[in-house]
Amino acid sequence: MIRSALIILAKDLRLRSRDRSVLLFAFVIPLALTGVFTLILPSDDDFLLTVAIVDEDGGAIAEAFTNGVVPALVNEGFVDASYVDSADTARRMLDDDEVSAAWIVPEGFSHAVMAATPTKFIVLHNPDRVLSTEVARGVAEDFVAEVRRVGVAVATTAAASGGTLDQRQLDAVTARAANTAGLLMVGAVDTEVRQLDATSYLGAGMAVFFLFFTVTFGITGLLEERDQRTLPRLLAAPIGISAVHLGKAIGAFVIGMASMTVLAVGNRVLLGVDWGPPLGVAVLITAGVLCALGVMALVGSYAKTAEQANNLQSIVALVFGLSGGVFFPVGATGWMASLSLFSPHGWFLRGLGDQVGSGSWTGVLPATGALLAGALVAGLLGALRLRKAAA
């Protein structure tokens, strides 16, 4: 069976080497897009959020933001803060384009939080500054989310202590709100992914995104054989259907590995990306390719023609890519972060981030485990469906 599978593999690789679309999807487009995006998108180093801060409240929670969170962001070089005395001043500065956003802590904010009653945190923004608007809003949302938890803690503590808080409890709650600075420093960008610089992140995102298209060239091979009427001739030869399946699967794996290897080296050499220790990169790429194979085999098993399979697989690759954050970081918290746990792309990027963050190749192991589990489950289901279809 192995011999027959290798003969089919050799034929497929020869055919693929003559197919320009494979070369484009596997090698050229991902690298080119990374290069283009790197040129047109601002990098972490370039970005600076200019923001006006108004504290109309003066309470403990407001101070946790103005004296804790904001200085931390300023120290990170992420924010240029201007403290002003009124919302009107902030609006004027926005109108004059002196700042790109404003954070306003309204009067009664801290009291409302302590009383666990509804309140507002106001973000003013310049609609022409899309990125700054999103970042300002993201920081505010993360702060409010933490404050909401503080509010719940306040209510719980107050209930437990008979409805009143002593000074020690109040200080503890305030300190917790102040500690949101640690979260907010990286609030706009995923905690782990933050470990990758923008170009490295984009390069990895493009590579894994196009990997899911590249492996389909192998996976759909069986359907292509059927479409071009060569499958009956293969099956009439003294080989088993398993040899044909194996040949196609090895072909997809080889193309996927070749694509990712070239992209890893190309990104490193041409764009200077840093994905961390090569051993970890190799392990993660192997797991990623296997996962792509399994997922796309399962998706392909629902198609009757190669064209149908390509359409289905493109949709799945796009959905997984977007939910996994290949074009933009999905954040450490929130529903997008939860969604990314179901995306192989998300795990791949998380794995690289973990590796760079930890400085050791073992950082990829959790993500590798998740990818291999996905490969196993999807691959087995796909194989069962393909076997049933062949019978």
Partner 1 sequence: MDAAVLTCRDLTRSFGALKAVDGVSFSVAPGETYGLLGPNGAGKTTIISMIAGLLEPDGGEIQVAGRVMTPSAKDAKAAVGLVPQDLAIYPDLTGRENLEFFARLYGIDRDARRNRIGEVLAVTGLTDRANDRSSTYSGGMKRRLNIGIGLLHRPLLLILDEPTVGVDPQSRNAIMSAIEILADDGISVLYTTHYMEEAERLCDRIGIIDQGRVVAEGSRRQLIAMVGENDLVRLSVSSDALRAAKACRDVPGVESADVDDGVVVCLMENAAERLAAMLAAVTSAGVSITGVNVREPDLEDLFLHVTGKALRE
Query: Which residues, 6 or more positions from 34, have their beta carbon under 8 angstroms from its beta carbon?
Result: 199, 202, 203, 206, 207, 267, 271, 273
Our CB check for partner 1 shows the closer of 75 and 230 to be 230
Report the site for partner 1 in 225-254 (rule: CB under 8 A): 228-230, 232-241
Cβ atoms of residues 77 and 124 within 8 Å: no
Q: At what angle do helices 365-390 and 344-358 cross, to 10 degrees?
A: 160
Closest to partner 1 by CB, 3 vs 168, is 3
Tell me how far, at minimum, the Cβ of 14 lies from partner 1, in Å: 7
Least Å from the CB of residue 390 to partner 1: 9
**What minimum distance in Å lies between the beta carbon of 254 and partner 1?**
17
CB of 381 to partner 1, least distance (A): 24
Residue closer to partner 1, measured from CB, 8 or 94: 8
Task: Give whichever of 235 and 341 is closer to partner 1, judged by the CB atom.
Answer: 235
Question: Measuring CA to CA, which residue among 308, 287, 157 is closest to residue 211?
Answer: 287
Q: How far apart are CA 83 and CA 126, in angstroms?
A: 18
Q: How many residues does the chain have?
A: 391
Whole-angstrom distance, CA of residue 356 vs CA of residue 364: 9
User: What residues numbered 1-30 form the site for partner 1, per CB under 8 A?
Assistant: 4, 7-8, 11, 14-15, 18-19
Q: x/- string (CB under 8 A) for partner 1, residues 26-55?
A: ------------------------------
Nearer to partner 1, 9 or 283 (CB): 9
Residue 343 binds partner 1, judged by CB under 8 A = no
Question: In 195-334, which residue ranges form alpha helices assigned H by DSSP?
Answer: 198-214, 216-219, 221-227, 231-236, 241-271, 278-300, 306-324
Q: Which is nearer to partner 1, 117 or 305 (CB)?
A: 305
Considering CB under 8 A, how many residues would be counted as binding partner 1?
21
DSSP 194: G
Start-to-end CA span in the chain (Å): 18
Q: In 64-179, which residue ranges form alpha helices assigned H by DSSP? A: 70-75, 87-95, 109-114, 130-160, 167-178
Which residues bind to partner 1, rule: CB under 8 A? 4, 7-8, 11, 14-15, 18-19, 228-230, 232-241
